[in-house]
């Protein structure tokens, strides 16, 4: 199998991060592809807003209020 050098370097780095060999990483990818585990389907669509409000558009937050909520 002929793998271009830049791709092989990425593959080798990914294998090192996972703590496995390049061979093991390639085999796991091939097995997943043969099993059909790799999905090419588009993600599930959803409608916004996810949480309905009784009073939409009525929340008036200042930067100070947001910072107090985010920062301890």
Cα–Cα dist 10/13, whole Å: 5
Average pLDDT over residues 57-69: 84
Whether pLDDT at 1 is above 80: yes
Q: Is the pTM of this model over 0.85?
A: no
Q: pLDDT by residue (tens digit) across 3-52?
A: 999 999 999 999 999 999 999 999 999 998 888 865 666 778 888 767 77
Whether pLDDT at 68 is above 80: yes
Cα–Cα dist 14/48, whole Å: 36
Residue 48 placed within a domain: no
Residue 14 placed within a domain: yes
Residue 22 placed within a domain: yes
pLDDT of residue 39: 63
Q: How many domains does the chain have?
A: 1
Domain region containing 32 = 1-39
Helices (H), the chain: 5-18, 22-35, 63-70
Residue 32 placed within a domain: yes
Q: Please give the full DSSP string across 38-50, using - where no structure is assigned.
A: S--PPPPP-PSPS
Provide the terminal-to-terminal Cα distance of the chain, rounded to the nearest Å.
54
Residue 54 placed within a domain: no
């Amino acid at each position: 199998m002929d793998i271009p050098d830049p791709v092989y370097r990425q593959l080798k780095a990914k294998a090192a991060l996972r703590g496995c060999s390049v061979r093991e990483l390639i085999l796991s990818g091939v097995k997943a592809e043969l099993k059909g585990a790799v999905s090419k389907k588009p993600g599930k669509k959803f409608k916004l807003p996810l949480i309905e409000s009784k009073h939409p558009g009525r929340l008036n937050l200042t930067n100070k209020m947001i910072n107090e909520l985010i920062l301890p």
